[in-house]
Amino acid sequence: MLDTVREVHTPEGVALRLPAAGPVPRALAWLIDLAIRGAALMAVSIVLGMFGEFGGGVYLIVLFVVFWAYPVVFEAMYGGQTPGKRALGLRVVSADGAPIGWMASFVRNLMRAVDMLPFGYGAGLVASLADPWSRRLGDMVAGTLVIHAPRERLRMAAVQVTPLAPSAPLQTHEQQAVIGFAERAHALTDARQRELADILVPVTGARGDAGVMRLLGIANWLLGRRA
């Protein structure tokens, strides 16, 4: 299985696309969280150190909360993202694509105790490499999934040129590719535009800049623009 995108059909009959996140970004997110937790504990211990043994007791309670509750609270309250996951653009969701709730987050983080075995998240790594959606054991038990949060991309309209009807009918995916080219043309260098357009000499019947202009014209025609 090369494609890690899981498609879940909603009750409305459309597909949610959930691109599952692999072990590497998740491990990095975990390391960031570890650093944040370590820093927070360090700061707390400096303050509590002034209170002697009383402070030592409070410190252990804080340690307990930071160890067990930190991921649960962030995942349940901030849209399935701990600070580390936010930095890496990851998000925890239910297996059906819905946002994660308190109980599911609690269970998936309780199960870290098993995923950490025998050392360094070994069990979790093996599970996530074997699973088509790279879930660790805790994700399986809690019915959750870690995905790459969808990124907001800049929307650009296709370049406006005089429309030109294609010499031969194009199939749907070919039309998509041509329109996609016109929409991305802003972001491409002239040389790259020519290179891409030259692939389609059989369609445009021209090379170089003329080919690019013709291809953009065809895209405009396909979009429904008419001279």
Partner 1 sequence: MRQEAFVARYAAEWDAFEQWLDAREGSPRRARATRRTWTGLADEDMPARYRRLCQQQALARHRGYSPQVTARLQGLMQRGHNVLYRPAPPPWNGALRFVMADFPRLVRAQRGCLWASLALLALPLVTMFALLQVQPDLAYGVMSPGQLAKMEAMYDPAAHAERLARESQTDVQMFGYYIWNNVSIGFRTFASGLLAGLGTIFVLVSNGVVMGTVAGHLQAVGHGGPFWRFVVGHSAPELTAIVIAGAGGLRLGLALVAPGQLRRVDALVRAGRDGGRLCLGILLMLVFAAFVEAFWSSTASLPDPVRFGVGGGLWLLTIGWLWRGGRGVADAR
- Find the DSSP H helices in the chain: 23-48, 52-68, 70-77, 83-88, 102-110, 112-115, 122-130, 137-142, 172-184, 190-199, 201-204, 208-222
- Restricting to residues 7-26, name those near partner 1 by CB under 8 A: 10, 12-14, 16-17
Token pair 């020519």 is at which residue?
A: 194
Least spacing, CB of residue 220 vs partner 1, in Å = 9
Under a CB-based contact definition with an 8 Å cutoff, are residues 166 and 143 in contact? no
Under a CB-based contact definition with an 8 Å cutoff, are residues 111 and 105 in contact? no
3-state secondary structure of 194: helix
Least spacing, CB of residue 7 vs partner 1, in Å = 11
Least spacing, CB of residue 171 vs partner 1, in Å = 9
Assess 165 for contact with partner 1 (CB under 8 A).
no
Figure out which of the listed residues 41, 141, 196, 206 binds partner 1, where binding follows CB under 8 A: 141
Note the Cα 195 to chain centre separation in Å.
30
- Restricting to residues 67-106, name those near partner 1 by CB under 8 A: 67-68, 79, 96-104, 106
Interaction site with partner 1 (CB under 8 A): 10, 12-14, 16-17, 53-54, 56-61, 63-64, 67-68, 79, 96-104, 106-107, 110-114, 117, 137, 140-143, 150, 152-153, 155-156, 158, 172-173, 175-176, 179-180, 183, 222-225
